[in-house]
Amino acid sequence: MIYFLLSMLVCCKPSIVNINDDADSASKAQQTEPIRVLEPDGIIAAEDCQHVDMGDKACNFSLKDQNGDVWSLYDYEGDIILLDFSTVWCPPCQAAGHYTQSLQDDYASEGVQIVTVIIDGPSSYIEPTGVDINTWVSDHSITSAPVLQGSRDKMLDPAGIVGYAISGWPTYLYLDRELKFYSGHSGFSEEYTRQMIDSKL
């Protein structure tokens, strides 16, 4: 079981670059430390996160939600977070999506975030659109749980350099209040999902 869970997670690598203002040479001379540039969309690689083992801290990521706002993982440190990686074209994902809002309603007061990351639109390998995200929200009667517009390019990396190595839909990953992985599985069971959340309350 642990081997399966670990095979879904991959390492993040540092993303450090120097930024210099060509118009200000004095600023160039004074700059001695590299500046970390945060990617505005998708995985934000850093030195203090990795996706190798249970207990590792997840790397931050930022994606647009159903309201067009940017949702960033690290803004929710201190909460228990359930990440649901789903695709629009996947029937089991559609079935599981009907439980999203009831889970959010039942656990919101406990500091739990149920977050859906849509990876594909209606066809495999096709990035979801804002319309796809809004249709998902409407079809599943989601009112407060974030539904994020992801993609394979933004979130997945089969080569294992940056991102999640996920190949089954839906896949659920559980983060504790310190943003560390403590469980994960492919497929959906409401009872098991509730057990995994309850285990950290």
CATH for 2-198, among 1.10.10.10, 3.40.30.10, 3.30.565.10, 3.20.20.370?
3.40.30.10
pLDDT lower than 50: segments of the chain? 1-39
Nearest in space to 113 (alpha carbons), one of 27, 44, 173 = 173
Of the candidates 64, 124, 141, the one whose C-alpha atom is nearest the C-alpha of residue 88 is 124
Determine the pLDDT at residue 1. Answer: 36
Q: Which residues contact 58 (CB under 8 A, 6 or more apart)?
A: 49, 51, 73, 173, 175, 179, 180, 181
Q: Amino acid identity, residue 166?
A: I
Placement of tokens 């409401």 in the chain: 190
Integer Cα distance of 3 and 53 in angstroms: 9
Q: What is the pLDDT of residues 43-99, one digit of tens each?
A: 887 878 776 678 889 989 999 999 999 999 999 999 999 999 999 999 999 999 999
State the sign of the Cα–Cα–Cα–Cα dihedral 47, 51, 54, 57: positive
